[in-house]
Amino acid sequence: MQQVQHQMMGYDRAITMFSPDGRLLQAEYAKKPVKQGSTAIGIVCKDGVVLVADKRILDPLIIPESVEKIFMIDDHIIATAAGILSDARVLIERAQIKAQQHQVTFDTPVDVDEVVKDVCNLKQICTQSGGLRPFGVSLLITGVDQQGPKLFETDPTGIFFQYKAAAIGEAETEVEEILKKEYRDTMSVEDGINLGIRALTKVLNGKFGPERVDVAYVKTTDKKFKHLTRKEVETIFNQLKKK
């Protein structure tokens, strides 16, 4: 009811405007494409971090391997997104440049936090300045830096939190239920990958298979990003079926 009144009054027609109850409606609308995006899961493990993402490819002419749902920001930091994919690309490319600049300037790898803050500052600006809309995308940014493994979720307004395990996209709520029940911080990276794939399989019912999943991890030992091959993914699916 109040929502309709706000719309009638035009409070949601410009990002640089508060509604009378102090809300930024355009920033709230920007969260909608996130809720319609394909699902992605991030998990912090005892020996590294894991991302498992649904590629949601329906067109058989698309080359599945080419669909990147997990992006490398630096050797030790990876990210995944839900929402408007071209918005995500802009943010990822900014993060990549930030990481390179840090490496060149200080000769040490950038901390995950610093990348997250930089991305979120850009997101915040787009909720405050005229002439730009907010970014319609949430990111999971994860990696291993000097302080160990870390996982962050950023929303379209530029707010971020550090999580043990988190999900974004259309099945966020169902997956988070599963994570709350099954997540343990004693999990290994292998356990984390299994948990992510099991969760996606469950919430997507029968519509999920090895060709539709993107899996990557960073281990604490070498702090190097690894992308699972199709074969490795298929092996995991086969093992899970046997159980």
Among positions 76-105, residues that touch a second copy (CB under 8 A) are 84-87, 89-90, 93
Minimum CB separation from a second copy for residue 32, in Å? 2
Interface with a second copy includes 18 (CB under 8 A)?
yes
Q: List binders of a second copy among 176-195 (CB under 8 A).
A: 176, 179-180, 183
Return the residue of 31, 46, 56, 198 that touches a second copy, per CB under 8 A.
Answer: 31
Q: Give the rounded distance of the alpha carbon of 193 from its chain centre.
A: 15
Return the residue of 2, 121, 229, 238 that touches a second copy, per CB under 8 A.
Answer: 121
User: Which whole-number Å values give the CA distances from 153 to 77, 169, 177, 183, in the listed order?
Assistant: 14, 12, 17, 17
Q: List binders of a second copy among 184-243 (CB under 8 A).
A: none
Return the residue of 2, 16, 100, 173 that touches a second copy, per CB under 8 A.
Answer: 16
Minimum CB separation from a second copy for residue 104, in Å? 18
Return the residue of 39, 80, 138, 157 that touches a second copy, per CB under 8 A.
Answer: 157
Interface with a second copy includes 122 (CB under 8 A)?
no
Q: What burial class does residue 20 get, using C-beta atoms within 10 Å of its C-beta: 0-12 exposed, 13-18 middle, 19+ buried? A: exposed
d(CA 226, CA 89): 20
Q: Nearest 5°: CA angle at 51, between 49 and 53?
A: 175
Sheet of strand 225-227: strand arrangement: 165-168, 40-45, 48-54, 213-219, 225-227
Minimum CB separation from a second copy for residue 121, in Å? 7
Minimum CB separation from a second copy for residue 219, in Å? 20
Tell me the number of residues near a second copy by CB under 8 A. 71
Q: How many CB atoms lie within 10 A of CB 216?
A: 22
Interface with a second copy includes 129 (CB under 8 A)?
yes
Closest by CA position to 164, among listed 180, 145, 188, 147:
180
